[in-house]
Structure 1
Amino acid sequence: MTRPGSPRFEADWLALREGADADARDAGLLVPLRAHLAAARAGRDPGSELVVHDLGSGTGSMARWLAPRLDGPHHWVLHDHDPDLLKRASGAPPASAADGAPVTVRTRLTDLTVLDAADLRGADLVTASALLDLLTVGELDGLVDACTAVGCPVLLTLSVAGRVILAPGHPRDAEIAAAFNEHQRREVQGRRLLGPDAPDAAAQAFRRRGARVHARSSPWRLGPDQRQLMRQWLEGWVAAAVEHRPELSTGARTYVEWRLGECASGRLRAEVHHVDLLVLPDGSTTVGGHEERS
């Protein structure tokens, strides 16, 4: 979730969004992932650990979500640029795997802009959450090259898709959304971020290297039960839009005040769209009872 050149993500924000992230991820992708992992481990010692490398791990929310959904003992290597977040992650590891097997965690301070296959040596699975949109084209290609060289599955969740649906609607929704999306594609310290173009770019990059890619929508669906998260997301969404287009600032003040009032009253609903990608290094696999060729 964090990397050099991106805004520093506060641990409190990551904790606030963890539940919404867990609800949004497409658990259906775990069916082909589990099948692939089981086949890969068929000839190994039953007690051998599944080694998972999580990129941009933040406080470890991906491990806490995924480890209880996979069988067998796991060893997670959590990569992040922020030592404070890694410290928090090491203090809150997953309790156990789906079958009660032990899960161990270690952290690694990593600059993901220069990730290579050596950083992922021995991985049985590579994961990341809310990371791809913070990469440049070149950095994404480097990540894809590293994962392809290792030859293991890759699960990339919650990449910003650039689509937001708010109810009730407002005439300014479209211009705020467009300005936010351009902000996500901004240049940071000489780096042009992919923003909402990242999911398609990643899928195409993996397919060019011969991998099978499955894409699923994974929206946040926020309502009265997530008012605190919705408020913080909304304020950040509008602030980013205004940062990119300062001429929106006057109207945006009225807009965000009205939106926050709707949030406080429990009337506001928000769908914030993301994309989950499962990348399998071999041929066809079965998804939902049929062969998917995506």
Structure 2
Amino acid sequence: MSAVIPVSVDWLSLREPADVHARSRALAVQAGRMLRGPVTVHDLGSGTGSMMRWCAPLLPAPQTWVLHDWNEDLLQHAVAASARDASGSSVTVRTRVGELGRLDAEGIAGASLVTASALLDVLSAAEVEAIVTACVQAGVPALFSLSVTGSVRIDPADPRDGLFEAAFNDHQRRTADGRRLLGPDAVTVAADLFRAAGWSVQFAESPWRLGADRASLISEWIDGWLGAAVDQEPSLREPAGEYALVRAAQCDAGRLQVTVQHADLLAWPATLQPGGGP
């Protein structure tokens, strides 16, 4: 199994402000109420450390973050960027390079919390199950943010929106390198696995709401959205090209608004309570 996710520093930097606004602060605060310092957080698919920078101020101090990613270059960017806990102190950062789909309880031994952002939907069912099983066996609560749900709203609407959305969602569920990806089903699959283990689960919506102030992100997102749709359905190439020109003109004029739905998930064992630890 391989959970290699091709992303760039530029893309992660471009999307970080939108991610910050979208993630559920309430779920992160609730997770923090289960913990007592010192806190050790294992962040999966860390990239450049966006989740750490956002979440650390919401958790008790002192903190150590263990960042897991397959891409060592991205992790070096994460180490170079500072993150501070609720007391204003810098967090300690460690890194681990490896395949996320092979995570087990030993890999998160000593963790207080496991986090991930924009990860579950690019994994297979077996990889999500491995992550959930590791959390359950280690008794570590999990906070997974920004899993796509498959729903997109674009204003002004276009009759072709649904066509590209359906093709994109099929692409998210494609088989890649022998792995059948979960795409928009991932967050539900993870929640069901936690519930089957007797854990409590709570959801929160975490949509991107992109307007004229996020024009660069809208442009990049539409390009990737259409590219995935065409990759899934090559017959859409010509209409996608026409559609892209229309959307680019609207974006340049500041008239385009995009809402990309995501879901955040917090899961915890019966031994922990949101009001104050075990």
TM norm. shorter chain > 0.5: yes
**2:216 counterpart of 1:216:** no
- Per the alignment, in what secondary structure is the counterpart of residue 240 of structure 1? helix
What is the CA distance between 1:110 and its match in structure 2? 1.8
**Aligned pair partner of 2:94 in 106, 117, 122:** 106
User: In the alignment, which residue of structure 1 is the partner of 2:137?
Assistant: 149
Deviation of the 1:286 alpha carbon: 6.2
Match of residue 90 from structure 1: 79
State how far apart, in whole Å, the 2-side matches of 1:160 and 1:10 are: 19
Report the equivalent of 1:62: 51
Separation of aligned partners in 2, 1:93 and 1:140: 29
Which residue matches 2:154? 166
Q: Please state if 1:178 is matched with 2:166.
A: yes
Q: Partners of 1:182 and 1:31 in 2: how far apart?
A: 34
The alpha-carbon deviation at position 283 of structure 1 amounts to 6.6
Which secondary structure does the structure 2 equivalent of 1:141 belong to? helix
> Number of residue pairs matched?
275
CA offsets 1:194-215 (integer angstroms, 9 cap, x no match): 0000011111011001110001
How do 1:258-273 and structure 2 match up within 5 A? Answer: 258-273=246-261
Q: Which runs of 5+ in 1 are unaligned?
A: 42-47, 288-294
Letter in 1 for 2:18: A
Distance 1:5 1:132 in 2: 10
Structure 1 vs Structure 2 CA RMSD: 1.5
Confirm whether residue 74 of structure 1 aligns to residue 63 of structure 2: yes
Aligned to 1:189: 177
Correspondence 1:12 to 2:10: yes
Mark the CA change 1:31 to 1:67 in structure 2 (over 3 Å): closer, same or farther.
closer
Any idea what the Cα deviations from partners look like across 1:169-223, whole Å, max 9, x if unmatched?
0010001000000000001111000000001111101100111000111000000
Q: Residues 110 and 6 of structure 1: is their aligned pair in 2 closer, same or farther, counting only changes over 3 Å? A: closer
TM-score when scaled to structure 2? 0.95
Query: Deviation digits for residues 131-184 of structure 1, max 9, x if unmatched?
Result: 001111111111110011111211000001100000000010001000000000
> Which letter maps to 1:158?
L
What is the CA distance between 1:70 and its match in structure 2? 1.7
Alignment partner, residue 290 of structure 1: none
The answer as to 2:123 corresponding to 1:132 is no
Partner of residue 29 from structure 1, selected from 14, 27, 30: 27
Q: 1:44 matched to which residue of 2?
A: none
Sequence identity of aligned pairs in percent? 48
- Is the CA contact (8 Å cut-off) linking 1:60 and 1:93 kept in structure 2? no
| Aligned residue type for 2:52 | A
Cα distance in 2, alignment partners of residues 7 and 105 from structure 1: 22
Q: Which amino acid aligns with 2:165?
A: A
List per-residue Cα deviations over 1:250-285 (Å, max 9, x = no partner): 111100110111111000000000000011112795
Instruction: Answer yes or no: is the 8 Å Cα contact 1:32–1:285 preserved in 2.
Output: no
The alpha-carbon distance between structure 1 residues 104 and 225, as it changes in their structure 2 partners (threshold 3 A), is same
Instruction: Say whether the 8 Å CA contact 1:212–1:279 is kept in structure 2.
Output: yes
For the 8 Å contact 2:69–2:75, the answer to whether it is kept is yes
* Cα distance change, pair 286–105 in 1 and its aligned pair in 2 (3 A): closer
CA contact (8 A) 1:93 1:105 kept: no
1:58-112 CA distance string (max 9 Å, x none): 0000000001122311000000000110111111130x21122341101110211
Question: Structure 2 stretches of 5 or more lacking a match?
Answer: none
Q: Which amino acid aligns with 1:71?
A: P
